[in-house]
Every structure is written in structure tokens, then in C-alpha cells.
């Protein structure tokens, strides 16, 4: 019996979401009186032993060229092998893009109950009950898992990273890696330096910007904050911005530490994709805009006046010209 945590990496680096699941999985292991172990697929360039600070005792690394890019079928197969070898009874993923692709497949393969979108530690005193977010964060469900193997996909930003002392034993795991049915031939970044789903800070804008020619001030602010850019759906539909920037119910769901919404009204379908952000700042000229109800901080004002001033103030604070 052990808790196995999938440690997600990008370009060799451990993602922040993985630190959250490592901390979470270690706590679950503590609750169950067992140990937490991590699994890393591909060539991680980071010091994996250092992940012991987040509570894992062992890291199983499967370093194989076929694992350089996520292939959900191949990853599922390999993780199943690691789970069998380690006798994992609880397997934890981040409910991010990779976790959403792998966890359901692994659940089917291992005949394991899966709770995706978990937001809290499981209650283990009487059974195994996981609290999850439902209806785009409007409600919570408590789900009891009865299968021998249990899989949890934890929502990003739902659990605090806890860093302590310690070092993990890094072990090479000799897996049989199946030949992928598809092959990634080329990867080119869509835009900007910071991927939207991984960004700590997101600067997002809506129809209040009037047209694509005005996005310069949004990009300047994003650059000053080292943030990713996003947009509301009508903006993407009108081709003012690319579709991969569209956040919301029908777009990407994100959970950055800081979400700055500029000239966005705050329709429920937009909020559905951003309401897990830790801090929300709204800039809108209409004091009655619904977004202010969801905001931690609000600026009532014209974006064309407020945003350049904000960018200048941030640059001054950072000592950048």
C-alpha cells in the first residue's frame, strides 16, 4: 500500500501543479499511515531528489525517449506498471491538462474509482470521501470511493504547497514502453513566453478594448508582470485574439495566482473558467459590471487611462525603464 503521485514536467522542469500534488499526496499518505512516492516520466533535468522536501520518500523515474512528449495512452500504460510495482492504492494527479488526459484512462485500466476536481484532503476516518468542485465552482460534492485503487485529480491552486526538509531516493524504473500510435513531429509555441495554463499571472481583456489594434497596452502590462495573456470569448470569436487565449466555460479553465480582467463584463460563462484564480483584479469603466462582485480588487475607470498608468507603476516598482 502506498500513495503514488504523478509528477508532471514541462521541458524538463517540474510544474508548480506537481508541487501541489506532491504536498497533497504526502499528506494523504500520512493520513493512511503509508508512504508517498512520485513517478516522473521522461528526461527531467531538475534535481528530483529535492522533491523529498514536499514529503515523498521515493521518485520512480522512467527515462525513455518515447516519453519526451505526453501521449496519454503511453503514459497511462507506464504509470499502470509503476502503480502495480509499488502497490499503489491511491494515485494522485493534478487536474490539469495532462492529468485530465491520463487519470480517466488509468481509472478505466485499473478499474479504479476516480474523483476529478478534488479541492480538499479525503476524509478517511470512515471510508474514503473526496470533496470536489462541481457546476463550475458553484457547489461542492462529497464523493465516496469504494474501489481498491483510488485515483484523485486535484484542482490546481486548491492545496497549499508545503515545503519541509528531506530528500527523495531517485530510482530508475525499467518499464516496457509501448510504441506510441501517434508521433509528435514538431512543437511550436502558440504565442508569448508564458503558457496560459501554467501562468502565475494572467492579464485578460474583453470587448471593452474596442478592437485588436488596442491590445498593445494589454501586452505591455503582461510583459511588465511576466504574465500570460487571455481574452473573453467574443474577442476570440471576432478574431481579435487567437482562440487558444479564450478562457471560460467553453474555453480554457485557469487558476492563476493573479487574474487581471480588463474591459470584461464578468458573465457567468466567463467566470466559470477563471473563478479558481487566487486573486482577481477587475478594471472596468462601469461600476455596475458583474465582475466586481467576484473581484478581490476593483478599479472603476477607463482601461485606456488605467492600464498604461498601472504598467508604468509596475515598471517603476521593478526598476525597469
Binding site residues, ligand FAD, CB under 6 A: 206-208, 232-235, 248-251, 263-265, 267, 269-270, 273, 283-286, 289, 302-304
Does residue 14 sit in helix, strand or coil? Answer: strand
Rounded distance, CA 65 to CA 43, Å? 8
Q: Name every residue whose Cβ is closer than 8 Å to that of residue 254 and which is 6 or more positions away in sequence.
A: 196, 197, 199, 202, 230, 247, 273, 274, 276, 277
Minimum separation from the CB atom of position 289 to ligand FAD (A): 4
Closer residue to ligand FAD, CB minimum distance, 215 or 304: 304
- Packing angle between helix 216-225 and helix 303-318, nearest 10 degrees? 30
Rounded distance, CA 128 to CA 298, Å? 41
Minimum separation from the CB atom of position 217 to ligand FAD (A): 11
| Residue 293: count of CB within 10 angstroms of its CB | 11
Closer residue to ligand FAD, CB minimum distance, 257 or 269: 269
Closer residue to ligand FAD, CB minimum distance, 161 or 267: 267
Closer residue to ligand FAD, CB minimum distance, 81 or 284: 284
Closer residue to ligand FAD, CB minimum distance, 57 or 285: 285
Rounded distance, CA 26 to CA 128, Å? 16
Pick the closest to residue 173 from 299, 84, 113 (CA basis): 84
Rounded distance, CA 144 to CA 251, Å? 30
Minimum separation from the CB atom of position 208 to ligand FAD (A): 3
Minimum separation from the CB atom of position 308 to ligand FAD (A): 12
Closer residue to ligand FAD, CB minimum distance, 77 or 249: 249
Q: Name every residue whose Cβ is closer than 8 Å to that of residue 213 and which is 6 or more positions away in sequence.
A: none
Minimum separation from the CB atom of position 133 to ligand FAD (A): 17
Minimum separation from the CB atom of position 96 to ligand FAD (A): 18
Q: Name every residue whose Cβ is closer than 8 Å to that of residue 316 and which is 6 or more positions away in sequence.
A: none
Amino acid at each position: 500500500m502506498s500513495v503514488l503521485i504523478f509528477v508532471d514536467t514541462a521541458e524538463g522542469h517540474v510544474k508548480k501543479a506537481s508541487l501541489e500534488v506532491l504536498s497533497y499526496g504526502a499528506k494523504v499518505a500520512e493520513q493512511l499511515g503509508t508512504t508517498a512516492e512520485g513517478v516522473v516520466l521522461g528526461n527531467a533535468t531538475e534535481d528530483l531528489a529535492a522533491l523529498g522536501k514536499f514529503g515523498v520518500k521515493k521518485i520512480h523515474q522512467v527515462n525513455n525517449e518515447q516519453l519526451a512528449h505526453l501521449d496519454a495512452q503511453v503514459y497511462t500504460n507506464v504509470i499502470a506498471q509503476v502503480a502495480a510495482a509499488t502497490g499503489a492504492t491511491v494515485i494522485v494527479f493534478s487536474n490539469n491538462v495532462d492529468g485530465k488526459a491520463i487519470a480517466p484512462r488509468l481509472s478505466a485500466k485499473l478499474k479504479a474509482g476516480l474523483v476529478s476536481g478534488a479541492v480538499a484532503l479525503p476524509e478517511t476516518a470512515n471510508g474514503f470521501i473526496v470533496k470536489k468542485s462541481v457546476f463550475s465552482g458553484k457547489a461542492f460534492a462529497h464523493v465516496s470511493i469504494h474501489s481498491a485503487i483510488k485515483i484523485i485529480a486535484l484542482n490546481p491552486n486548491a492545496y497549499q504547497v508545503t515545503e519541509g526538509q528531506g530528500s527523495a531516493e531517485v530510482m530508475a524504473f525499467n518499464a516496457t514502453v509501448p510504441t506510441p500510435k501517434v508521433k509528435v513531429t514538431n512543437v511550436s509555441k502558440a504565442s508569448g513566453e508564458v503558457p496560459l495554463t501554467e501562468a502565475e499571472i494572467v492579464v485578460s481583456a474583453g470587448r471593452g478594448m474596442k478592437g485588436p489594434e488596442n491590445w498593445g497596452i494589454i501586452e505591455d502590462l503582461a510583459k511588465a508582470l511576466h504574465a500570460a495573456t487571455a481574452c473573453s470569448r467574443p474577442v476570440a470569436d471576432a478574431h481579435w485574439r487567437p482562440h487558444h487565449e479564450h478562457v471560460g466555460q467553453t474555453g480554457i479553465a485557469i487558476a492563476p495566482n493573479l487574474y487581471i480582467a480588463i474591459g470584461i463584463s464578468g458573465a457567468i460563462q466567463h467566470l466559470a473558467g477563471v473563478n479558481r484564480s487566487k486573486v482577481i483584479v477587475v478594471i472596468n469603466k462601469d461600476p455596475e459590471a458583474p465582475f466586481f462582485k467576484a473581484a478581490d480588487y476593483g478599479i472603476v475607470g477607463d482601461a485606456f487611462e488605467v492600464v498604461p498608468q498601472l504598467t508604468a507603476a509596475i515598471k517603476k516598482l521593478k526598476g525597469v525603464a
